[in-house]
Structure 1
Amino acid sequence: MATRYRLTSVETVETAGSWLFTARDDHGEDTEVVLVPCSDDEKPPVQAWVNRCTHEDQRLHRERVGAVLRDGGIVCPKHGSIFEACSGDCDSGEAAGTRLLSVDIDVEGGQVYLTDDSFSYLREGAADDSDDDDGPDSTSHLQF
Structure 2
Amino acid sequence: MFMGEYQHNIDTKGRMIVPAKFREGLGEKFILTRGLDQCLFAYPQEEWKVLEEKLKKLPLTKKDARSFTRFFFSGAVECEVDKQGRINISQPLRNYSKLEKECIVIGVSNRVEVWAKEIWEDYFTESEESFAEIAENLMDFDI
**TM-score normalised by L of structure 2:** 0.39
More strand by share: 1
More helix by share: 2
**Bigger radius of gyration among the two:** 2
**TM-score normalised by L of structure 1:** 0.39
